Amino acid sequence: MLHGAPTLLMRALREDASRPRPHLFRLAGTVLIFLFLIVAHASSRGVSSPGLRFFELISFLNLALIVLAGSSYFATAITEEKEQGTLGLLHLAGVSPLGLLMGKSTSRLISVLLVFLGQLPFALLAITLGGVTAEQIIAIDVSLAAFLIMVANVALLLSVLCQRSGTACSWMFLGLTALLLGVYYGDDSLAQLVRRKFVAADSPLVTFCTDALTALDKVSIVTRINEVLETGFSGPITGAQVWLHLAAGLVAFLLSWLSFERFTRYSDVSKPARGWLPRSKTRWRLLVGRPWKWAFVWKDYHFIAGGHALAIIKLAVYPLLLLLMWRYQEALQTMTGLHFPSLSRRVMLIIIGGELVVSASRMFHEELKWGTLPSVASLPQPVVVTAYSKALGCLLGIIPGLIVLGVLVLLVPPAKESEELWREPGWWLIGMEFLVLLHLTALLSLTVKWGALALSVATLLVVNALLALPVWLVAQSLMATFEEESALVSPVIYIGLSFCVLLQISIAIGVRQAAAR
């Protein structure tokens, strides 16, 4: 029944031990905890219970790490074998489904647990800072371990059910987001629906949703962390959350085992997906046309950005979305506090930004995934020209969103107060950080198999947390010198563009190195 599981497990552990990248990742996590410890010690004089605050930061950092691993690392355990076309070879080698599931998932689970073990000595130092006990640390670690086991096995189930890694990662990320955020924002959303009289307060649907949200809140990992970190905690180390998450993980693993043959027998997806690109023999072939003079622009526009077919769909869906927002603008204003013009512009900017980050994560990843990057790098043109051509092809995909946004601005002009926002350094900071995020995502897509976008977001958040204090001190000095907040705009633009240039150089070097591997 477990034939082949020890072999796969030992192979994965040996690869993990021989490659420098996993060790560097664990070292980076340990160094980050050490930096947090230094900051907590430096601020211990002015803060009550600094050890509790320090360990709270570690706990939520580990929770973010689990979400990141669940939506990328764990969700590709089986789908990567489907995409490489090696599942049939593993079956011919006599590896049983149970052995394959345990061999592929257990090694990844151990790898993530090793990251937590590296943090444990520093977490115990929180006791010396005061405000936290050893029982609280053990209870948090047990709760996070149970949540990790559930996330790993649910991601394994999605990896079995889905054909491609991108689909499994997307569903896992949406599920974790709904699980962690839906519990806290669900009550407010339900109350708004009742207040707007969309549903009756005593209807069975409202009663069911309220009871479900209450039950989920009691066993939520965030609720458990906040409960354990309360001063004077004397509860059990293993609560209802631990046992429920362990049971959910076991059920997810059993479902993966039972459905493995059904969803992997004819699951060869070892060819690139066409996406929205129609085939040449269909009636929609006019939406493709012949390749352009700039071949990479044509290729990435059609295969990454969706081409003309997806552009037509966007031009139909985006106005429909804005029409629905206009129809229910009073309810949306009650929920968000924003009027329709401001809310609609922000929604369109978020949609355009989402398209850009997804394209940035796929621009080089697809070439690396299907082994075409060496051929691309060997073409008789500079790598920089190729990279800019691919970026231009992806940028063409946001033209429908820009058209809808432009028409929206013409029909509903911004207020005069909005013109002053261009002088606010905060908006420029958000724009520059978004540009850095795009470049960082493209760079990380050359080094990691999956989860470049999530990893880049996590990296940017950590860097912002570490640089928040020195940047704030510099900003205060500049404001004291020039006596205007607008004086910060030029430094923000300069620093942001400098980071983008450095990341572009790193991308060019990374493309050459990835092509040589």
Tell which wins on pLDDT, 151 or 275: 151
Tell which wins on pLDDT, 171 or 115: 171
For residue 320, what pLDDT is reported? 93
For residue 412, what pLDDT is reported? 80
Note whether 410 and 430 are same-domain residues. Answer: no
Asked if 309 and 277 count as a contact pair (C-beta separation under 8 A), the reply is: yes
Tell which wins on pLDDT, 248 or 19: 248
Q: Which single residue is written with the structure tokens 């020039």? A: 482
Percent of the chain with pLDDT over 90: 13
Note whether 437 and 511 are same-domain residues. Answer: yes
Q: Which of the four pLDDT bands, split at 50, 70 and 90, describes residue 157?
A: very high
The per-residue pLDDT for range 423-463, each reduced to its tens digit, is 677 788 888 899 999 999 999 888 877 677 777 887 887 77
For residue 151, what pLDDT is reported? 92
Taking residues 287-296, what's their average pLDDT? Answer: 74
Q: Which of the four pLDDT bands, split at 50, 70 and 90, describes residue 305?
A: confident
d(CA 90, CA 112): 25
Q: Is the pLDDT of residue 227 over 90?
A: no
Q: Of 358, 385, 414, which residue constitutes the final position of a domain?
A: 414
279 in any annotated domain: no
Q: How far does Cα 383 stand from its chain's mean position?
A: 28
Note whether 405 and 431 are same-domain residues. Answer: no
446 in any annotated domain: yes
Note whether 355 and 442 are same-domain residues. Answer: no
List the domain range (segments joined by +) for residue 383: 289-414
φ and ψ at residue 514, rounded to 5 degrees: -65, -35
Tell which wins on pLDDT, 74 or 197: 74
The per-residue pLDDT for range 360-375, each reduced to its tens digit, is 888 888 888 777 788 8
Number of domains in the chain: 3
Q: How is residue 408 written in tokens?
A: 């929206």
For residue 36, what pLDDT is reported? 72
Q: Which of the four pLDDT bands, split at 50, 70 and 90, describes residue 420?
A: low
Q: Is the pLDDT of residue 226 over 90?
A: no
277 in any annotated domain: no
Note whether 74 and 203 are same-domain residues. Answer: yes
Q: Which of the four pLDDT bands, split at 50, 70 and 90, describes residue 254?
A: very high
Helix, strand, coil distribution of the chain in percent, nearest 5: 80, 0, 20
d(CA 332, CA 328): 6
Asked if 130 and 39 count as a contact pair (C-beta separation under 8 A), the reply is: no
Q: Of 414, 444, 471, which residue constitutes the final position of a domain?
A: 414
Note whether 187 and 57 are same-domain residues. Answer: yes
Note whether 380 and 421 are same-domain residues. Answer: no
d(CA 283, CA 124): 66
Question: Residue 390: which of 359, 412, 422 has the closest Cα?
Answer: 359
**What average pLDDT is seen over the chain?**
80
282 in any annotated domain: no
Residue 296: exposure state from Cβ atoms within 10 A (0-12, 13-18, ≥19): buried
Percent of the chain with pLDDT over 70: 84
Q: Is the pLDDT of residue 472 over 80?
A: no
Asked if 285 and 278 count as a contact pair (C-beta separation under 8 A), the reply is: yes
3-state secondary structure 287-321: HCCCCCCCHHHHHHHHHCCCHHHHHHHHHHHHHHH
Note whether 199 and 220 are same-domain residues. Answer: yes
488 in any annotated domain: yes
214 in any annotated domain: yes
For residue 255, what pLDDT is reported? 92
Among the listed ranges 61-75, 404-418, 480-494, which one has the minimum average pLDDT value?
480-494
269 in any annotated domain: no
Note whether 208 and 257 are same-domain residues. Answer: yes
Tell which wins on pLDDT, 140 or 104: 140
Note whether 323 and 472 are same-domain residues. Answer: no
Q: Is the pLDDT of residue 278 over 80?
A: no
For residue 417, what pLDDT is reported? 54
515 in any annotated domain: yes
Taking residues 246-253, what's their average pLDDT? Answer: 92
Q: Is the pLDDT of residue 85 over 90?
A: no
Q: Of 414, 443, 476, which residue constitutes the final position of a domain?
A: 414
Among the listed ranges 133-142, 229-238, 269-278, which one has the minimum average pLDDT value?
269-278
Residue 245: exposure state from Cβ atoms within 10 A (0-12, 13-18, ≥19): buried
Note whether 459 and 404 are same-domain residues. Answer: no
Note whether 200 and 319 are same-domain residues. Answer: no
For residue 2, what pLDDT is reported? 60
d(CA 352, CA 389): 20
- DSSP track, 269-281: --S---TTPPPTT
The per-residue pLDDT for range 34-52, each reduced to its tens digit, is 777 776 666 666 566 777 7
Q: Residues near 276 by Cβ (< 8 Å), separated by ≥ 6?
A: 302, 306, 307, 309, 310, 313
